[in-house]
Amino acid sequence: MTQSVVVQVGQCGNQVGCRFWDLALREHAHVNKKGVYDEALSSFFRNVDSRCVCAGFTPSKMLFFSPQAVLVDMEEGVVNEILQGPLREVFDSTQLLTDVSGSGNNWAVGHMTYGSAYREQIVDKLRRAAEHCDCLQCFFLIHSMGGGTGSGLGTRVLSLLEEEFPEVCRIVTSVFPSPEDDVITSPYNSVLALRELTEHADCVLPVENQSLVDIVNKIKHMSHGGKPASAIKRDSAIISGQGGLGGAEKPFDAMNNIVANLLLNITSSARFQGSLNMDLNEIAMNLVPFPRLHYLVPSLTPLYTLADVNVPTRRLDQMFSDAFNKDHQLIRADPKHSLYLACALMVRGNVQVSDLRRNIERLRPSLPFVSWNQEGWKTGLCSVPPVGHSHSLLALANNTCVKPTFMDLQERFTKLYRKKAYLHHYLHVEGMEHSVFSEAVTSLSSLIEEYNHLDATKRRLMPDAPRLRIAT
């Protein structure tokens, strides 16, 4: 079995990461009733304690397993909170790297100042985590784009990963800022970070805060409003952390749980058995036809399971249709009106290959695929469903609909850059120059241009309307 290491950087990265480990423990406790260290656990956890067989297995008994993780933050608040919470015994100090003063929402401070100062320590901790793994296949990096540490130091860590472990796949989960973000310099931070992601990541799963808020609101509306017959099954909602170790629910937990579920579903086929196994290296190899265009739009279904237990086949087909519905996407985009380069469907639970093929045949006509990849579907079937559901589907679409998100970012960046607003904060940092900004903008423009080029081929797909003939 192959192993993965999770590297969580910055406040957002660590909060999401904390939810991920909690939900991962919950999922493995659910599947592995005996508490014996098995191959599925080995993909994310290391066995540190030999006395691990215990009856009446609960997540708290999973504390004998140590997560393969590195936690980095330049201010102590979040990491300290983790260390005081119920997951305190799970992490040990060699996995943590903290500083006191934070990055001040400044990409340059995170990337250059802290990046250089802590380079040796970061590489050391990464090496140690990698050495514990028999067969390391993938690094998962979790961070946000709008801040200073996650964005700056996070992308520095990404380039270190490429340097030190070039053969290991790098999958990055990036939380993009919404237009109404409260950090004024988030456009600078995001564009500077985006350049690093385009150059150094193997694939990126962009997530937008606004979409997460919309999903949370939709579920809450469903559970509070709605008809009596449509009560949601307890702890089945994608935002719920029930059954895990965490104590009282904290403010962003619901949103972070969604991202944590995304990571669990992506790795499900690599951890558990199924009829069509799909490993992590297959994600990049099958969904990324051109090295720079590696932004995959994630969408998760179902968001919740109704308490009413009838599950006719119609529900299964509904799950597939929902995956292509805008409400279930984790970024705001319109894939149905843009061009698909490739699409992966990762199904969990008791679903047959025939159901999968039937739904692909059904949905194909309405989804515009690029002309040279009309059969660009990658399918994976894992037999273990997530906690609280009987089956679930994760769709990862490499689609040109991310272009508007990038164009939006470019516009917000240009508005500030034109006026040279806040620029002095960045230029004061050692190693930072105007050229870094201009290179980042050039990279973003050429990325948008590549997507434009592909979109242009879509217009050629549309046949000309037949001309009217006048009867003579």
Partner 1 sequence: MSTVVIQVGQCGNQLGLEWWRLVASDPGQSRDILQCPFSSRDGKLAAVFIDSEPKVLWDAKQFIKNKVLDSSIVLARGGRGGNWAYGYNGHWGEENNGLLHRAMDAVRREAERRDYYGGVMLLHSLSGGTGSGLGSKLCEEIRDTFPTGHILTVSVAPHQSGESPLQHYNSLLSLASIHRSADGLLLFDNDKAMTFAQTLQGVPTGSLSTVMSMAGSLTVMNTHIASCMAGLLLPVQSLTPTSGWSLGSEPWELIRSVCPLPAAKILHTTQANSSSRAVLAVARGNSDNSFHLSNALKKLKKGHRCVSWNPFPIDHWTDPKNRLGDSCSSRLLTVCSNHSSVSRFLDHVVQRSKEMLRAGAYVHWYQRYGVEESDFELAMETCSAIIQEYGSQ
Residues 6+ apart with CB under 8 A from 227: none
458 belongs to the binding site for partner 1 (CB under 8 A): no
Give the x-and-dash track for 151-180 against partner 1 (CB under 8 A).
Answer: ----------------x-------------
Give the x-and-dash track for 291-320 against partner 1 (CB under 8 A).
Answer: x-----------------------------
Number of residues this chain uses to bind partner 1 (CB under 8 A): 41
Binding residues among 378-397 for partner 1 as defined by CB under 8 A:
378-379
Cβ–Cβ under 8 Å, residues 171 and 5: no
Q: Which is nearer to partner 1, 51 or 459 (CB)?
A: 459
64 SS3 class: helix
Give me the residues paired with residue 169 across strands: 138
Instruction: Return the structure tokens found at 106.
Output: 């400044």
372 belongs to the binding site for partner 1 (CB under 8 A): yes
31 belongs to the binding site for partner 1 (CB under 8 A): no
Query: For residues 261 and 204, what is the distance between their CA atoms, to the nearest angstrom?
Result: 16
373 belongs to the binding site for partner 1 (CB under 8 A): yes
CB of 358 to partner 1, least distance (A): 9
342 belongs to the binding site for partner 1 (CB under 8 A): yes
Sign of the C-alpha dihedral, residues 412, 418, 423, 426?
Answer: positive
Largest CA distance in the chain: 92
Cβ–Cβ under 8 Å, residues 125 and 91: no
CB atoms within 10 A of CB 348: 24
CB of 345 to partner 1, least distance (A): 10
Give the x-and-dash track for 255-284 against partner 1 (CB under 8 A).
Answer: ------------------xxxxx-x-xx-x
Quick one: which of 289, 367, 390, 441 contacts partner 1 (CB under 8 A)? 289
Query: For residues 155 and 143, what is the distance between their CA atoms, to the nearest angstrom?
Result: 9
What HEC string does 250-271 produce? CCCHHHHHHHHHHHHHHHHHHH
Give the x-and-dash track for 129-148 against partner 1 (CB under 8 A).
Answer: -----xx-x-----------
Residues 6+ apart with CB under 8 A from 62: 25, 28, 29, 35, 45
Quick one: which of 59, 150, 376, 388 contacts partner 1 (CB under 8 A)? 376
Q: Which is nearer to partner 1, 26 or 271 (CB)?
A: 271
Cβ–Cβ under 8 Å, residues 239 and 255: yes
CB of 201 to partner 1, least distance (A): 15
**Degrees, nearest 5: CA angle 404-408-412:** 170
Cβ–Cβ under 8 Å, residues 395 and 326: no
CB of 319 to partner 1, least distance (A): 18
430 belongs to the binding site for partner 1 (CB under 8 A): no
296 SS3 class: strand
Give the x-and-dash track for 113-132 against partner 1 (CB under 8 A).
Answer: --------------------
Quick one: which of 337, 364, 420, 434 contacts partner 1 (CB under 8 A)? 364
Chain positions contacting partner 1, by CB under 8 A: 1-2, 39, 134-135, 137, 167, 273-277, 279, 281-282, 284-291, 342, 352-354, 357, 360-361, 364, 370-379
